[in-house]
Amino acid sequence: MKNYNLKYRSLLCLIVFSLSFCKKEGAAPFLENEIEDTAVDVTSANPPILQTPTPVIHLADNLDEQDQLGYCIDTRGRGFNEELHAHSCKASGGDVQFFYNKQTLQICSVEFTGYCIEMPGGVSKGMSLRLVESDTSSSDQKFIYIEDSGEFVPEEDLTLCLAVGETSAAAGKYMSRSLTLEFSSETDVKLKQWVILE
C-alpha cells in the first residue's frame, strides 16, 4: 500500500510540475518559435515520390498531386511555349525539367536549350513568368536561390518569391497550378519551397 501511495504521489508531482512549467511566462511563445523555425526547413512533411530524371526543380511538398508525383516548373501545353505554370512532375521528364545556374542566377530549361525563365517587364507581385532566350546580362532573368528556405527570389526584389497557386486544376491525367511571383511574407511555405536536384 505504501509503494502504491508513493507512486501515486510521484505521478501527481510530475503532472503538477509539467503544468506549472507550461504556464510560465514566455514558455508558449518559445514553443511557437520552435515550430516556426522547423517550418522553413527544406525537408517537407509530405514529400512527393519523384520519378522525373535529373536535373529537375520541384516543390518540396507534394500538396494535392493525386499520384504523389509532385509539382515541377513546366511549359504550358505540348512542345515549346513561352507560358509557364507548375505541373505534375512527369516520369518521362522533358518540358518539366529545369536547372538552376548558380553562376548566372538563371532558371533554365533542359528540354529547350538556351531558354531561361524571365520576369517580363520587370519584377512585380502576381506576375506570370515566361520562357525566353537566355540573356545572362538581363536582370529580369536573375533569381537567387535561398538554400535555408528553399525559395527563389528575384535579385531585383528580395521580398517576392516564386510560388505556385493555392488551387490546382486537372491537366489531362496530371494536375497543374499557376506559377507567379508573390510576397514571401504572405505565402504559405508549402507553395514556395523548392528543391533543386542536379
The stretch 81-88 carries a mean pLDDT of: 97
The stretch 47-62 carries a mean pLDDT of: 97
Q: At 77, is the pLDDT very low, low, confident or very high (cuts 50, 70, 90)? A: confident
pLDDT in tens, 110-159: 999 999 999 998 899 999 999 999 999 999 999 999 999 999 999 999 99
| C-alpha–C-alpha distance, residues 11 and 3, integer Å | 12
The stretch 51-76 carries a mean pLDDT of: 97
State percent of the chain over pLDDT 90: 74
The overall average pLDDT reported for the chain is 84
- 8 against 62, higher pLDDT: 62
